[in-house]
A and B are shown apart, each in its own frame.
Chain A
Amino acid sequence: MKLGLFIDLDTCVGCHACATACKQWNTSGTIGPLSDERPHGKDPSGSWLNRIHSYEVGDSPHSKTVNIPMSCMHCETADCVTVCPTGASYKREEDGIVLIDQDKCMGCNLCSWACPYGARELDPDSGTMKKCTLCVDRIYDEQLPEAERQPACVLTCPTSSRVFGDFDDPDSQVSKLTRERAGQQLMPELGYNPVNTYLPPRNPKQQDSIAVSPMQGVRQLVNRIINR
């Protein structure tokens, strides 16, 4: 199995619901609390496992706002795991999820240096590295109804921009969507083979910004005469 997320950049509205749902679930999850510094102060900071960046792509008037949620990509070539000196970071053989054993981490930060996607953040309180677990404590929980055995970010996404699934299964929804809409990896040239796949926005309809329809031309002419 190659579990991961598929994120549709066409429909993501950048509401940060996935990030807050993630923090809410994981702060009482398997990796212990995700602590904050000065949560009610002027410059609150803390460890988050998911962050959303917003970009302007293209030049006005043909530009577009694109929101890119970033969490662990559960890379196939996960350098964060190989650089770890203590064996705290590991990648699960059975489903490819990259996890950190909080009892073994010595907080040397080297794995965060090795990660190109900024997926790992040092918890200011515990002094250990924290990262996305793909909600490993939800997706296999047989106490939950089957529809809820998904990561918290996926369940909460109001626009269904996030899909969770097995990229090894050619018939899974994530594999189909990746095929049909040419899903792509971020920064593929570094060779980490990230599993999480991003669907680029659909091409916008090309509009000629100065073309004026005949009706509009007449209306403008009438307006000009009235104004005079």
Chain B
Amino acid sequence: MHPAFSVLIFTVTSGAGYGLLAWLGAGQLLGYTQGYIVAQQLSLGVIAMVLVSIGLASSTMHLASPKNAWRSFSRFRTSWLSREAVFAILLYPVAALYAAAIFLQWPSINLLAGLSIILALVTLFTTSMIYASLKTIRQWNTPMVPALFMAYALISGGSLFLAVNSFFGALNSQLLAVVMGLVLITLALKLVYFFWQGKPQGATIQTATGFSQASVRLLDAGHSAPTFLNREFGYQVAADLLLRLRIVMTLVTFIVPLGLFYWVFDGAGRTELLAVAWFAMMAGLLLERWLFFAEARHVVRLYQGEQRT
């Protein structure tokens, strides 16, 4: 699949924003943000919504006819993309009320925090289901995709949560340990995904053409220059480069932040280290999302001569 840069930015950035909002809301419900001053809580909330908004604005860039984007709220009953649009917009008034509740010390703050967590996680889930619901791309059509999207959001949001708290001089070492644990779990899940993805399975050129008893080779694709289908689905990267990028991605997304977290865990709260950890993780996640697209092989490729997906 062709990796559209706007979609990479959208899923990574808004993922971190939803994750951050979930950590803030959970802090309200579980009590770990009780000692935080109002400015700190509001900063966390505003950063979260700015990240979400950057992501959502970026997502409209890949539309070929954005003038019709408002119609995308209309097929809530069948389309995951429509559900995503509805929940993403629903979150805004709730988040605004939550911010007001923090500022004005409303008694209903727990309810609004809870609603914010639910809407953030549901929006993440709907985004991931856009990919996971496609039967045509076996690398995406798995429950591991929503699980990974949620996990990425929680670790990138959690890392940012720690960095901002450290900036306000209120780093909680127990939370740091929780985020480190989540990074390890996400890494394990991603390695399982890589292993599972490597197993041959799914449709082949035989089932695509109906000649299940013979070898089938493409003689002529029927066009002399690349078509929309080639550009969208025929994205091809050398296998050894993909392997190297997987290693770089694993190091930058998981290992480097884990090392920095451990360093911070060992010594005093250092905002710079946590900020570097977050930026490394975000860069790694952008690469991860690029790989997510570059390694996805749509079944249309079978008609263009590939033997299997």
> What is the interface of chain A, defined by CB distance below 8 A to chain B?
14, 16, 19, 42-45, 47-48, 51-59, 65-66, 68, 70, 79, 81-88, 103-110, 112-118, 121-122, 124, 126-128, 184-192, 198, 200
26 sampled A-B residue pairs with Cβ under 8 A: A43-B226, A45-B225, A53-B221, A54-B222, A55-B216, A55-B219, A57-B215, A66-B209, A82-B78, A83-B78, A83-B133, A84-B75, A84-B79, A88-B68, A105-B65, A106-B69, A109-B232, A112-B229, A116-B136, A116-B300, A117-B300, A122-B228, A187-B299, A190-B299, A192-B135, A200-B211
Assess whether A113 is in contact with B134, with CB atoms less than 8 Å apart: yes
- In the bound assembly, the distance between CA atoms of A190 and B298 in angstroms comes to 12
Q: CA of A112 to CA of B232 in the docked complex: distance in angstroms? A: 9
A113 and B298 contact, CB distance less than 8 A: yes
Give chain A's interface secondary structure class. loop
Q: What residues of chain B lie closer than 8 Å to A48, measured between beta carbons?
A: 223, 227
Please determine whether B71 and A121 come into contact, CB atoms closer than 8 angstroms: no
Q: Closest Cβ of chain A: how far from B149's Cβ, in Å?
A: 17
Q: Mark B188-229, 1 if CB is under 8 A from A, else 0.
A: 000000000000000100011111001111111111111111
Contact status of A83 and B223, CB under 8 A, knowing A104-B68, A118-B229: no
A55 to B68, CA, bound (A): 40
Known: A68-B209, A113-B137. A86 touches B72 (CB 8 A): yes
Contact assessment for A186 and B300 in the assembled complex, using a CB-CB cutoff below 8 Å: no
- Chain A positions within 8 Å of B203 at CB level: 116, 187, 189-190
Interface membership of B139, Cβ < 8 A: no
Q: Is B253 close to A, CB under 8 A?
A: no
Stretch at the interface among B80-88, B100-108, B111-119, B170-178: B80-88
Interface residues in chain B, defined as those with a beta carbon under 8 Å from any beta carbon in chain A? 1, 62-69, 71-75, 78-82, 85, 130, 133-137, 203, 207-211, 214-229, 232-233, 298-300, 302-304
Q: Once the chains bind, are A56 and B219 in contact (CB under 8 Å)?
A: yes
Residue of chain B at shortest CB distance from A192? B135
- B136 & A51 in contact (Cβ 8 Å cutoff): no
B217–A106 contact, CB under 8 A?
no
Tell me if B136 and A113 are in contact (CB < 8 A): yes
Smallest distance from the beta carbon of B213 to chain A beta carbons, Å? 9
Q: With A57-B216, A116-B135 as given contacts, are A106 and B64 in contact (CB-CB < 8 Å)?
A: yes
Q: Is the CB of A53 within 8 A of B303?
A: yes
B75 touching A86, Cβ below 8 Å: yes
Which chain B residues lie closer than 8 Å to A81 at the CB level? 78
Query: Residue of A at shortest CB range from B225?
Result: A43
Which of B63, B135, B303 contacts A117 (CB under 8 A)?
Answer: B303
- A57-B214, A85-B74, A86-B74 known; A16 vs B219 contact (CB < 8 Å): no
Contact indicator B62/A108 (Cβ below 8 Å):
yes
- Given the known A-B contacts A106-B69, A116-B135, A121-B229, are A87 and B74 also in contact in the complex, defined by CB atoms under 8 Å? yes
Contacts of B219 in A (CB 8 A): 54-56, 65
The complex places the Cα of A90 from the Cα of B10 at a distance, in Å, of 28
Cβ–Cβ < 8 Å partners of B216 in chain A: 55-57
Closest Cβ of chain B to A91, distance in Å, is 12
